Amino acid sequence: MTKGARRMLATMDRAVAAWHIPVVGRAKGRLIRRLIDRHRPRRAVEIGSLLGYSAILIAGSLPAGGRLVCIEVNPFLASLVEANVAEAGLGKRVKVVGGDALRAIPFLPGRFDFVFLDAVKEDYLDYLRQLEPKLTAGAVVVADNTGIAGKAVAPYLEYVRAAGGGWDSREHVFGDDAMEVSVRV
Ligand SMILES: C[S@@+](CC[C@H](N)C(=O)[O-])C[C@H]1O[C@@H](n2cnc3c(N)ncnc32)[C@H](O)[C@@H]1O
């Protein structure tokens, strides 16, 4: 991970712990970093960015030349993400798109090999279905909060876990929460 990303995440870790802000955090962040180290994605997209914590984590861990697109519906938060990403020295790697993901995804150009889903839990399956034509073989999709939002994400989990559905999917448990990691086969 880049030095700037590490420095910025340490600052944010202190702030989000004090203010109870729902960012992905260190433990789940370690899994995301391991996945990026293993799969070496080049073009990532994140749905739901808040302050830019996960954006800095992902962009700071991508291999050289890697790029991240963040979609954040709240305009104030979208500008905060841009500022925090720049502060971490990652401005050139990250593009922030302000707006509702379900409206923005169809207009994203190119293909993606890493996805982080962390916006409206009931919409995870719709995000994925919209992204699917833009994903490469071997693309990795990480869905957060599949433990605490189990009911809301049930259709999503049923879809990625269906036999023969084109996904190799596995749950990673973190206390009372979980993340679902699905690889396009
Ligand atoms: C849990 S927070 C994201 C935390 C962030 N991924 C992190 O770990 O640092 C969820 C974010 O999704 C955004 N969001 C909610 N609905 C959205 C939508 N329809 N499109 C894009 N972003 C949305 C919210 O504004 C909020 O910032």
pLDDT for 100 equals 98
Cβ of residue 48 lying under 6 Å from some atom of ligand 1: yes
Q: What's the 47 CA to ligand 1 centre distance in angstroms?
A: 6
pLDDT for 18 equals 84
The whole-angstrom separation of Cα 1 and Cα 62 is: 8
pLDDT tens digits in sequence order for the chain, 185 residues long: 999 999 999 999 998 888 888 899 999 999 999 999 999 999 999 999 999 999 999 999 999 999 999 999 999 999 999 999 999 999 999 999 999 999 999 999 999 999 999 999 999 999 999 999 999 999 999 999 999 999 999 999 999 999 999 999 999 999 999 999 999 99
pLDDT for 117 equals 98
Pocket test for ligand 1, best of 45, 49, 105 (most atoms within 8 A of CB): 49
Residue ranges and CATH numbers for the domains of the chain are 3-184 (3.40.50.150)
The whole-angstrom separation of Cα 44 and Cα 106 is: 15
pLDDT for 42 equals 98
CA atoms within 13 A on the CB side of 139: 20
pLDDT for 19 equals 84
Residue 76, CA distances (Å) to 80, 93, 99 in order:
6, 20, 11
pLDDT for 16 equals 86
End-to-end CA distance of the chain: 27
Alpha helices in 67-141, H assignment, sequence order: 75-87, 101-104, 124-131
The whole-angstrom separation of Cα 138 and Cα 147 is: 24
Rg of the chain, C-alpha, whole Å: 15
Residue nearest to atom 13 of ligand 1 (CA): 48
Cβ of residue 180 lying under 6 Å from some atom of ligand 1: no
**Atom number in ligand 1 closest to CA 50:** 27
Closest CA to 143 of 34, 53, 43, 31: 31
Cβ of residue 142 lying under 6 Å from some atom of ligand 1: no
pLDDT for 149 equals 97
Q: What's the 26 CA to ligand 1 centre distance in angstroms?
A: 18
Cβ of residue 49 lying under 6 Å from some atom of ligand 1: yes
Considering the entire predicted model, what is its pTM? 0.96
Cβ of residue 50 lying under 6 Å from some atom of ligand 1: yes
| Size of the chain in residues | 185
